[in-house]
């Protein structure tokens, strides 16, 4: 087995995920808060230490693929690849070839994370699909039977909504996301928790139902993101949870772009 490694980087507005693949095997994955002023050298020190703890060697990284929705931070990720891994990264939206049709008005508007999710979900589940990603925004994306990206829906992310309630109201505290014991709250915190939790459950069920009605065909629903299991427990709308959709999508995009086959 070759020791060469692929580094897949998924940079979102809140967190940046670094995943290491050896062939098809995901052998390491770490998360760091996204900061636009973090330098390439800072990334390198952090990543080298974590790879060493997992018995991986940074010098074995031969290729890198990046999906970023933070343009002002992309320069330092590219510098990381050139300076520390001696390679030119594939970048979703620039040099990478997704290998799927984009059936939206302007392909330049689609976030790299959404496109990579489409590739990753279709490679595992086929289509048609609805992919729900509980990230900074809660997104619902439609993937056609042939893997084509057909558009979707944006809603404010759960943590974004909680932060907004806390910031704009003098009397609402900052709370975490949790499933309340009852729908009807009897104090400020339980009222907020119920509104957020059951409100988002209703959002999931309502948006998915309307998407299915408009699409006119049965659609499997796949969820990803850290909060997916919390909401899956309250609704039958979600068929599958896959926390690795995005990084697996990056692997598939890299394979397609480089002509790599199993």
Instruction: Reply yes or no on whether the pLDDT at 11 is more than 50.
Output: yes
Average pLDDT of the segment spanning 238-245: 95
**And the tokens for 177?**
């996301």
Percent of the chain at pLDDT exceeding 90: 70
Task: Place 103 in a pLDDT band, splitting at 50, 70 and 90.
Answer: very high
**pLDDT tens string 190-208:** 888 899 899 999 999 999 9
Instruction: Reply yes or no on whether the pLDDT at 96 is more than 60.
Output: yes
pTM of the model: 0.89
pLDDT score, position 64? 97
Active-site residue set: 113
Percent of the chain at pLDDT exceeding 70: 98
Measuring CA to CA, how many Å separate 84 from each of 9, 87, 88, 149, 183? 15, 8, 11, 34, 52
Is residue 251 classed exposed, middle or buried when 0-12, 13-18 and 19+ CB atoms within 10 A define those classes?
Answer: buried
Instruction: Reply yes or no on whether the pLDDT at 253 is more than 80.
Output: yes
For the ranges 172-181, 205-214, 249-258, the lowest mean pLDDT is seen at 172-181
Task: Place 262 in a pLDDT band, splitting at 50, 70 and 90.
Answer: low
Query: Which range, 92-101, 123-132, 227-236, has the best average confidence (pLDDT)?
Result: 123-132
d(CA 254, CA 67): 11
The CA angle 211-242-15, to the nearest 5 degrees, is 95
Task: Place 1 in a pLDDT band, splitting at 50, 70 and 90.
Answer: very low
Which one, of 81, 85, 59, lies nearest residue 68 by Cα? Answer: 81
d(CA 185, CA 196): 12
CB under 8 Å to 222, separation ≥6 — which residues?
Answer: 121, 125, 129, 130, 131, 132, 238, 239, 240, 241, 242, 245
Task: Place 260 in a pLDDT band, splitting at 50, 70 and 90.
Answer: confident
Asked if the domains at 5-91 and 107-248 fall in one CATH topology, the answer is: yes
Please name the fold of domain 5-91. Answer: Nucleotidyltransferase; domain 5 (3.30.420)
Q: In the chain, where are the structural domains located?
A: 5-91, 107-248
Q: What is the mean pLDDT of the chain?
A: 91
| CATH number of this structure's domain 107-248 | 3.30.420.40
Average pLDDT of the segment spanning 43-61: 94
For the ranges 127-131, 193-197, 243-247, 256-260, the lowest mean pLDDT is seen at 256-260
pLDDT score, position 167? 81
Is residue 155 classed exposed, middle or buried when 0-12, 13-18 and 19+ CB atoms within 10 A define those classes?
Answer: middle
- Asked if residue 29 lies in contact with residue 17, where contact means CB atoms within 8 angstroms, the answer is yes
d(CA 133, CA 243): 9
Q: Can you count the helices (H) and strands (E) in the chain?
A: 7, 10
Residue with the bigger pLDDT between 175 and 90: it is 90
Instruction: Reply yes or no on whether the pLDDT at 133 is more than 90.
Output: yes
Would you call 107 helix, strand, or coil by DSSP? helix
d(CA 68, CA 76): 12
- Sign of the Cα torsion 158, 160, 162, 164 reads negative
Average pLDDT of the segment spanning 220-230: 92
pLDDT score, position 100? 92
């Amino acid at each position: 087995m070759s020791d060469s490694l692929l580094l897949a980087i998924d940079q979102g507005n809140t967190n940046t995920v670094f995943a290491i693949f050896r062939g098809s095997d995901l052998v390491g994955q770490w998360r760091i808060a996204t900061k636009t002023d973090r330098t390439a050298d800072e990334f390198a020190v952090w990543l080298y230490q974590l790879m060493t703890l997992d018995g991986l060697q940074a010098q074995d990284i031969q290729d890198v693929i990046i999906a970023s929705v933070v343009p002002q931070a992309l320069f330092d990720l590219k510098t990381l690849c050139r300076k520390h891994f001696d390679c030119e990264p594939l970048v979703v939206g620039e040099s990478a070839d997704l290998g799927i049709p984009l059936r939206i008005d302007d392909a330049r508007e689609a976030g790299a994370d959404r496109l990579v999710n489409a590739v990753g979900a279709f490679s595992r589940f086929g289509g048609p699909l609805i992919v729900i990603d509980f990230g900074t925004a809660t997104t619902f994306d439609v993937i056609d039977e042939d893997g084509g990206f057909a558009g979707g829906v944006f809603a404010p992310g759960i943590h974004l909504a909680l932060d907004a309630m806390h910031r704009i109201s003098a009397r609402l505290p900052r709370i975490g996301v949790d499933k309340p014991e009852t729908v009807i709250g009897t104090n400020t915190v339980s009222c907020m928790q119920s509104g957020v939790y059951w409100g988002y459950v209703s959002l999931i069920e309502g948006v998915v139902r309307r998407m299915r009605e408009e699409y006119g065909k049965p659609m499997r629903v796949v969820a990803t993101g850290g909060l997916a299991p919390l909401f899956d427990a309250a609704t039958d709308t979600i068929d599958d949870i896959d926390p690795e959709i995005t990084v697996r999508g990056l692997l598939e995009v890299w394979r397609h772009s480089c002509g790599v086959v199993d």
